[in-house]
Chain A
């Protein structure tokens, strides 16, 4: 987590709007950094309170569990950020994950000797194909992504159900080397989490430093203006859906390695957690603003909430309500910050003029 921490400080994040970026770039940067800082503070407070209640919460096994637990959500949240930044949303990621996870199991059943890198690549490609279906439908039908991916959420799950036909794939059906991937640590850090870190770093770097990455923010800020300024909006949107699908595919393979037991229901309902993680992480749901790092922190925060509620032995009937309240609180905080930013930016530009 310390790696994420340091990267926050020296890195500018999303641009709220072209006008704002021109007039108050430094201020925006600082405020967005604060946004992620507030997430880190919330995370720190949560860990502190839980640790005060039970000091085993900061034990090495526990930290390993926390990192392992958030890895898959972090990967999905990174993919989702790319999509949301362009003022779209991908609700089909849970179903893609489920489909790819089951496909991975089937691959090992059909060809027991398959080396795990092959399975990994197959999963990513299958996920990308699903993403291309999303992107293609959106481009052809010109219907909001929310509707299309709501449809493919059911469609991909349906394919999964049809294929699985009630069959379950178990840990014993998959090679040990593959399952070990789900549990193994490198220098005490779970491999799954390292994969997630790489994904976040690459996606974050791309969004920040590549022209096409910056264009995604422009598209999300104002699609019409982006089109007029010569940005290939359709192609970029198609690409982010393929990327989101590919990352969901990667997450699916890792899901298989981690849980070992797969049926057609794997990952059901995960899409809402992913969107929640991105929103909690400061990615504006109407596009144009937010960072992969924030979304990743949001995912870490949500998973940690789940784990600490289990450690604090909160009554199960209350757990979901607590999670909901925390999400609302995070969004509320975010909104207050945004309003303040807007007010300050207005004040400043008025001053300059």
Chain B
């Protein structure tokens, strides 16, 4: 009964959306023109940040601690620019789940929608409609196709991650031996881009003795990551190290190693949060791992959105804006803004972070 009710509610909402969008399109000639001229017009770097901007965060998934931290960073920034912050999102990170949220946000007349895409294509239509309705679109963490948004705030470049991860594991295994990668899902965009670049990075002469034997997929699920980690260690007896560039995977792998005969013998690094990895760094399972600060990422994304909505930047290459405490940023090719190199956490600094 519950699901039936939801279905009907959903259908009503869809019809309403369609109606509203229909009317907007009919009477919206002037609006469209305004939008068009604004996009083509050059940005004014001296324009002040407008007050009262309505900025909405739509993460891949609510109740995911990573995105909660990122959205809190966003909230901090929105408060600084005296805007109105809102956070909505699906509880499951599936490809199409974000579409209805985007439609609702654009109906509510948001000035900026900051989102992390579950799928590079699935939400494009909805984002383009939102853009036509006057909203500025900023993606963070996980991008859509470039034409569907104005600015993408990238945590680090994929290149930066690949370099960092390969360097960390190579240092830990003494520059020689077999390694494996424990990823999230087999079709995750960012994971696959990083893995491809790690393979390139490993071709460099200084990593000549490091051999990548396989890539396993733990589907960002504790149990599955556990099993995959076990499988890796059994299938490759000479394995010296594992890179797990996903927060769920690296924690599950560390938990497995800490209770197994491989503790300390097989090295593990990856992308994880200091809170979840603290125990394993202190008990000697993990030497060092890395991550950007998700709060900074959300903070920067919110400032990029505010700068867009205030006309400071248009998303063109070379536009510059200031993001509060993080300082000045320049928009790169394809509207990409890069937060910076990842932070490496080890025994010496892990207690200084709490996220």
Q: Are B2 and A313 in contact (CB under 8 A)?
A: no
Q: Are A306 and B237 in contact (CB under 8 A)?
A: no
Q: Say which one of B116-124, B154-162, B225-233, B328-336 lies at the interface with A.
A: B225-233
Number of residue pairs spanning A and B whose beta carbons lie under 8 angstroms apart: 110
Q: Are A166 and B68 in contact (CB under 8 A)?
A: yes
Bound state CA distance, A65 and B59, in angstroms? 35
Q: Write the chain A residue with the least CB distance to B71.
A: A166
**A177 contacts partner chain B, Cβ-Cβ < 8 Å:** no
Cβ contacts A136-166/B at 8 Å (1 or 0 each): 0000000000010011001000000100111
Cβ contacts A255-268/B at 8 Å (1 or 0 each): 00011110111100
Q: Are A264 and B278 in contact (CB under 8 A)?
A: no
Q: Are B251 and A260 in contact (CB under 8 A)?
A: yes
Bound state CA distance, A107 and B224, in angstroms? 26
Main secondary structure of the interface of A (DSSP, over half): helix
Q: Are A57 and B234 in contact (CB under 8 A)?
A: yes
The A101-133 residues at the B interface (CB cut-off 8 A) are none
**A54 contacts partner chain B, Cβ-Cβ < 8 Å:** yes
Q: Write the chain A residue with the least CB distance to B67.
A: A166
Q: Are B235 and A54 in contact (CB under 8 A)?
A: yes
**How near does chain B come to A150, taking the closest CB pair, in angstroms?**
7
**A21 contacts partner chain B, Cβ-Cβ < 8 Å:** no
Cβ contacts B66-93/A at 8 Å (1 or 0 each): 0110000000000000000000000100
* Max chain A Cβ within 10 angstroms of own Cβ: one of B62, B67, B262: B62
A313 CB contacts on chain B under 8 angstroms: 214, 231, 235
Q: Say which one of A24-32, A167-175, A335-343 lies at the interface with B.
A: A167-175
**How near does chain B come to A303, taking the closest CB pair, in angstroms?**
8
**B252 contacts partner chain A, Cβ-Cβ < 8 Å:** yes
**A183 contacts partner chain B, Cβ-Cβ < 8 Å:** yes
A210 CB contacts on chain B under 8 angstroms: none
B216 CB contacts on chain A under 8 angstroms: 310, 316
B224 CB contacts on chain A under 8 angstroms: 306
Bound state CA distance, A311 and B232, in angstroms? 7
Q: Are B261 and A61 in contact (CB under 8 A)?
A: yes
**B264 contacts partner chain A, Cβ-Cβ < 8 Å:** no
**B211 contacts partner chain A, Cβ-Cβ < 8 Å:** no
A310 CB contacts on chain B under 8 angstroms: 216, 227-228, 230-232, 235
Q: Are A316 and B279 in contact (CB under 8 A)?
A: no
A57 CB contacts on chain B under 8 angstroms: 234
Q: Are A170 and B235 in contact (CB under 8 A)?
A: no
The B1-41 residues at the A interface (CB cut-off 8 A) are 1-3
**How near does chain A come to B187, taking the closest CB pair, in angstroms?**
9
Bound state CA distance, A61 and B256, in angstroms? 11
Q: Are A65 and B230 in contact (CB under 8 A)?
A: yes
Cβ contacts B222-263/A at 8 Å (1 or 0 each): 111011101110110100000000001001100100111110
**B207 contacts partner chain A, Cβ-Cβ < 8 Å:** no
Cβ contacts A85-115/B at 8 Å (1 or 0 each): 0000000000000000000000000000000
Q: Are A259 and B279 in contact (CB under 8 A)?
A: no
Q: Are A168 and B275 in contact (CB under 8 A)?
A: yes
Known: A154-B2, A261-B222, A317-B186. Contact between A311 and B234, CB under 8 A?
A: yes
B248 CB contacts on chain A under 8 angstroms: 261
Q: Are B65 and A259 in contact (CB under 8 A)?
A: no
A252 CB contacts on chain B under 8 angstroms: none
**How near does chain B come to A255, taking the closest CB pair, in angstroms?**
8
Q: Are A316 and B217 in contact (CB under 8 A)?
A: yes
> CB within 8 A of B1: which of A147, A179, A312?
A147
**B276 contacts partner chain A, Cβ-Cβ < 8 Å:** yes
Bound state CA distance, A223 and B121, in angstroms? 52
**B292 contacts partner chain A, Cβ-Cβ < 8 Å:** no
> CB within 8 A of B280: which of A61, A171, A309, A317?
A171
Q: Are B279 and A59 in contact (CB under 8 A)?
A: no
**B64 contacts partner chain A, Cβ-Cβ < 8 Å:** yes
**B96 contacts partner chain A, Cβ-Cβ < 8 Å:** no
Q: Are B279 and A171 in contact (CB under 8 A)?
A: yes
B2 CB contacts on chain A under 8 angstroms: 150-151, 154
**How near does chain B come to A141, taking the closest CB pair, in angstroms?**
10
Known: A56-B234, A151-B2, A166-B62. Contact between A69 and B279, CB under 8 A?
A: no
Bound state CA distance, A265 and B65, in angstroms? 11
**B190 contacts partner chain A, Cβ-Cβ < 8 Å:** no
* Max chain A Cβ within 10 angstroms of own Cβ: one of B67, B222, B258: B222
**How near does chain A come to B263, taking the closest CB pair, in angstroms?**
10
A259 CB contacts on chain B under 8 angstroms: 222-223, 226, 252, 255
The A295-353 residues at the B interface (CB cut-off 8 A) are 306-307, 309-313, 316-317
Q: Write the chain B residue with the least CB distance to A307.
A: B227
Report, nearest first, the 4 A-B pairs whose CB atoms are least far apart.
A310-B231, A166-B68, A183-B259, A168-B65
Show 24 A/B contacts (Cβ-Cβ < 8 Å), sorted by A. A56-B237, A61-B260, A62-B234, A69-B223, A69-B226, A69-B227, A147-B1, A150-B2, A170-B251, A170-B279, A171-B278, A172-B279, A172-B282, A179-B279, A258-B255, A259-B252, A260-B255, A265-B63, A306-B224, A310-B230, A310-B232, A310-B235, A311-B231, A313-B214
